[in-house]
Chain A
């Protein structure tokens, strides 16, 4: 090869200076983000605004509404069922999150060792999270059925009870039952996410602490837990959002009963909006979710920001 090498372009062609609009970063970014913005604009932003408008009218199914100001929201403030709904949803979210975190962490710690069939175990453990919630909740409903419950049978045989436990018919037990099913579904998500977090913590740290004389509990509290905090906070954030807006479990198990003991925002909104056709009131209930949810999310985001800065 000589120093006058063949041209850098195919024979017979020459570089042509063309207009290249997509070379500009902002143009390309616009094009790439366009489909997303369209979809999200049309099916989230727009409905959200419509929802806001809907909630300040008195629209019912088939009947066009008129502007009524904050009447729907005022009605909610004096609605005893709504008070229950707020309490139920907050209690439900709080209790399930605490247990999902605790049990999920325990399971993650158990899984954080090497043992035979670990891959299988991990795959199977995610099943409650993967399988459509409605379908698996039906299995639970059958397990809770007052006459045919296998749980009752087990408790009876073990001598814990002497008469039927009305899992879904008694207000307190019904709340207990939906909490159990939510925990059942959520633990795998917590466990696998926390496990991934645990695996990023170098084992050298724990070993150094052990040599220094720290007990397993101390090792966990002073080393593992702080390093796990960022992941934990994100997982808790996702879970809280989803649990607060939960619909499927309650819809299948109790429909909100007995006596509104298990009604959440979403099920009550559904019952009023779709069930009885009071669209505006349903919209108002859905929207009432938003401020509380935003507060919780902001609080957690601020906490995450602080943890990361540290």
Chain B
């Protein structure tokens, strides 16, 4: 609470908040501006007299055109979307079932399995990517979307499980008990009664998993090699840089356009995303 004079509100609240917003959002602004700035302006050293960073009077679509003509950017978008959606679906199914089993069923290894899943969350991708790349190659799914669709769930499932456990725990057990007395098997009670009630949790887990898949890099970098197979982050990194030369215009265009699908998906589910993120922390 900041009581008192208006100046206090400005100093202790409005200005710091504005500062944070600028700090957090400026790089995106920069991304947008650079995408539409013509090369001439773009490659103007900061020392030059007419460096006008924050605006351009000559917006151009050249970089975007370059992006679509000289690279298979649309393919990358499609790949990433496919992989993210498929991994999300797989992880949700596994996570929802696992979360239900661990939170609503009593069985001997419940505690240890729960811990096991937690431990796998602690094993970062950067630890496994070398042996995994060998395994992927051995199963002959290297350089295909399957290499990612099957491996992304490894870091998505623990999170989804965790999240769903929290949501399931909040559902009173009487609902299932009543359903079972009404004539439903345990499985049917889960599918017809518990899952519909847990839909907000499923949406939260889903949007979180979706954004995490889109964000993954090292597996995609190591498992995919041909340009048509690449995801957006990998494609942008590898195809828009030739040796030491960075094609900054198309690069920023790629970064911008590559971020838009996630941003759009996120914007539809902000509340769910936030409750998912905070739920996993509080749980």
Stretch in A18-26, A72-80, A90-98, A166-174 touching the partner: A18-26
* Size band of the interface chain A makes with B: 35 or more
Known: A22-B185, A132-B232, A147-B45. A40 touches B117 (CB 8 A): yes
Interface string of A28-59 (1 = CB under 8 A from B): 11101101110110111111101100100000
Give every chain B residue within 8 A of A113 (Cβ-Cβ). 1-2, 13
Alpha-carbon distance between A246 and B273 when the two chains are bound, in angstroms: 23
Interface positions of A from 260 to 307, Cβ below 8 Å from B: 265-266, 269-270, 273-274, 279, 282-283, 286-287, 289-290, 293-294, 297
In the complex, A304→B6 CA distance in Å?
40
Please, how many angstroms separate the alpha-carbon atoms of A245 and B113 in the complex? Answer: 24
Residues of A within 8 A of B51 (CB): 153
User: Is B126 a contact partner of A269 (Cβ separation < 8 A)?
Assistant: yes
Q: Which of B30, B98, B102 contacts A142 (CB 8 A)?
A: B30
Task: Knowing A29-B101, A51-B130 are in contact, say whether A131-B218 is a contact too (CB < 8 A).
Answer: no
Q: Is B127's CB within 8 Å of the partner chain A? A: yes
B205 to chain A, nearest CB (A): 14
Interface positions of B from 205 to 252, Cβ below 8 Å from A: 211, 214-215, 217-218, 222, 232-233, 236-237, 248, 251-252
Say whether A193 contacts B281, CB under 8 Å.
yes
Q: Shortest Cβ distance from B235 into chain A, in angstroms?
A: 10
Bound complex: CA A238 to CA B153 (Å):
18
Instruction: For B131, give its contact among A28, A47, A128, A192 (CB under 8 Å).
Output: A47
Contact A50 B98 (CB under 8 A): no
Interface check B186, CB cutoff 8 A = yes
Q: A229 at interface (Cβ–Cβ under 8 A)?
A: no
**Residue pair A110, B13 in contact (C-beta under 8 Å):** yes
Q: Which residues of A contact B258 (CB under 8 A)?
A: 132, 135
Chain A window 143-157, contacts with chain B (Cβ cutoff 8 Å), 1 for yes, 0 for no: 100011110111010
Q: What 1/0 mask marks residues of chain B from 114 to 126 whose CB sits below 8 Å from any chain A CB?
A: 0011001111111
Among candidates A139, A153, A206, A286, residue contacting B46 with C-beta atoms closer than 8 Å: A153
State the CA gap A168–B252 with chains docked (Å).
Answer: 19
Which residue of B46, B125, B233, B236 contacts A152 across the interface (Cβ within 8 Å)? B46
Q: Is A50 a contact partner of B150 (Cβ separation < 8 A)?
A: no
- Give the chain A neighbours of B93 by CB distance below 8 A: 35
* Chain B residues, Cβ within 8 Å of A82: none
Given contacts A25-B107, A50-B134, 17 further A-B contacts (CB under 8 A): A22-B186, A25-B106, A29-B105, A32-B100, A33-B101, A33-B102, A36-B95, A40-B117, A50-B131, A135-B259, A136-B255, A216-B1, A234-B282, A235-B281, A245-B127, A266-B218, A270-B126
Instruction: Report, nearest first, the 10 A-B pairs whose CB atoms are least far apart.
Output: A245-B124, A266-B126, A196-B278, A135-B255, A50-B131, A51-B131, A153-B46, A134-B233, A32-B97, A26-B107
Q: List 10 A-B contacts (CB under 8 A).
A: A40-B116, A50-B134, A126-B266, A126-B273, A131-B28, A136-B27, A139-B255, A192-B277, A231-B282, A293-B122
